[in-house]
Amino acid sequence: MNILLIHQYFQEKNDPGGLRWNAMAKLWVEEGHCITVIAGMTHYTKGVRNPKYNNKYTHIDNFAPGIKVIRTHVSDTYNNNFRGRMNAYFAFVWSGIYGGLFKAREKYDCIVVSSPPLTVGIIGLTLSFWKRIPFIFEIRDLWPESAIDTGVLKNKFIINLAYMLEKRIYKKADLINVLTPAMRDKLIAKKGIDSKKIIYFPNAADFDLTDEVVNSFDKLKFRIENNIPTSNLVLCYVGAHGLANHLIQLLDAASLLTDKPVTFMLIGDGMQKHMLKETCIKRELKNVIFVDSVPKEQALNYILASDIGLSILKQADTFKTVYSNKTFDYMACKKPVLMAIDGISRKLIEDAQNGFFVEPENAAAFVERVNYFLKHPEEMSILGNNGYNYAKLHFDRNKLGKAYINSIESSILAKNIN
């Protein structure tokens, strides 16, 4: 098949950040398909664009054999404030439609749209109509609920418009892929979506990256080279430093553990990173390390050099429906997880026997679990191996990626027959 993928945050080569769709596109090409991606020019956590896009509205890259990427304009106000983020979202809507109509001129078999933001669905709706091809909508995070619960979206008029857009997208999509069973249940029970339209292919672990190094990694050497305390218990967070992540709760826990051999290591970027650094200075916290975003392979090295992985989000009902994609990286690296996300993510690590749930925004609960690991270090290896084996069985990216494209292909074939 020839597939048009709409993904505002599709990463560039060697770019820091999530690489789920970069890996998925490569896998689909290996399965004999061709991918054209329409993506934004602005990095989703840094909020800045590569200088090579200056004074350009579109830019086309032959990303890899079988993968072409059409980068289109996104406002560089993304991380400024709410208005700046809305400007960035809608700038991509208009430039994405332009890119799809005038730069993606090949004949495509289907369009796959990955959200959030919900606004990318407008591009999918438009191009599906003009090109007369099926439209698959993927939900990585339920919008507008998550934007409302985190306080990003407050205006009632805009909220109503967002719900209207969501309803329209779900109605017109030929398939809807959800990343957790909880999302599927909510779409059926709360939003009245036909279960036959919904498929489930979640985030997954990339064992191609980890299996080569997980058992041979020199943890001590890496810590020495990167100024990470060699004898401390190191808790590692990898991901965005934004409103939804609410990483201030880690600094609250760190404040209560200054007398213990414990280090918190926060890797990534986002609109709250400067505030977090300033807070550490004001509180004189010496047990917190900040590392800027690094490519996926390097991020895995930091995880391998740590003792425990941290999965964290703000306390909000909508986050009870999501899997934190970094959890699968921790599992693939054989690390136990402290899960400060209730709901389906909590169930994941409890089913996998991979770690412990910690009540979000409860620093005392964090401290209790950290002290437990200090007293029982032998359990970390057991829990880490449990998570690895569970992810290998249920969340192998290669297996899920192949099943995902086969499901899309079967749906399109059935539609064409009918």
Q: What is the DSSP string of 372-411?
A: HHHH-THHHHHHHHHHHHHHHHH-BHHHHHHHHHHHHHHH
Band (pLDDT 50/70/90 cuts) for residue 78 is low
Neighbouring CB atoms inside 10 A of 253's CB total 27
**pLDDT tens track for 297-324:** 899 999 999 999 999 999 988 899 999 8
Of the given ranges (8-12, 95-99, 276-280, 361-365), which has the lowest mean pLDDT? 8-12
The CATH homologous superfamily for domain 2-204+396-417 is Glycogen Phosphorylase B; (3.40.50.2000)
Band (pLDDT 50/70/90 cuts) for residue 47 is low
| Mean pLDDT of the 386-392 span | 97
- Nearest CA to 336 out of 302, 277, 401, 384 is that of 384
Torsion region of 164: left, alpha or beta (phi above 0 gives left; psi -120 to 50 gives alpha): alpha
Q: How many CA atoms lie within 13 A of 66 on its CB side?
A: 16
**pLDDT tens track for 165-201:** 999 999 999 999 999 999 999 999 989 999 999 999 9
Strand partners, 119: none
- Is residue 395 scored above 60 in pLDDT? yes
Instruction: State how far the Cα of 396 lies from the Cα of 390, in Å rounded to an integer.
Output: 10
Is the bond into 117 cis (omega within 30 degrees of 0)?
yes
- Is residue 79 scored above 70 in pLDDT? no
Q: 3-state SS of the chain: helix, strand, coil percent to 5?
A: 45, 20, 35
| Mean pLDDT of the 19-40 span | 94
**Residues 78, 22, 118, 17: what is their CA dihedral angle, to the nearest 10 degrees?**
-40
What's the chain's average pLDDT? 92
Q: Model pTM greater than 0.85?
A: yes
Strand partners, 111: 4, 135
- Nearest CA to 383 out of 309, 294, 318 is that of 309
Sequence-distant (6+) residues with CB within 8 A of 399 are: none
What DSSP letter does each residue of 33-69 carry, written as one string?
-EEEEEEESB-TTT--B-GGGTT-SEEEEEEETTEEE
Q: Are 136 and 147 spatial neighbours (Cβ–Cβ below 8 Å)?
A: no
Structure tokens at 68: 């072409």
Band (pLDDT 50/70/90 cuts) for residue 16 is low
Evaluate whether 2-204+396-417 and 207-394 have a shared fold: yes
Structure tokens at 399: 């297996």
**Residues 226, 229, 234, 236: what is their CA dihedral angle, to the nearest 10 degrees?**
-20
Instruction: State how far the Cα of 13 lies from the Cα of 205, in Å rounded to an integer.
Output: 19
Confidence (pLDDT) at 46: 65
Task: Kindly report the CATH number that applies to the domain delimited by 207-394.
Answer: 3.40.50.2000
Query: First and final CA of the chain: distance in angstroms?
Result: 19
Confidence (pLDDT) at 271: 86
Q: What are the boundaries of each domain within the chain?
A: 2-204+396-417, 207-394
Ramachandran angles phi, psi of 248, nearest 5°: -60, -25
Band (pLDDT 50/70/90 cuts) for residue 212 is confident
**pLDDT tens track for 116-152:** 999 999 999 999 999 999 999 999 988 888 888 877 7
Confidence (pLDDT) at 144: 86
Percent of the chain residues topping a pLDDT of 90? 77
Beta strand pairing status for 198-200 and 233-238? unpaired
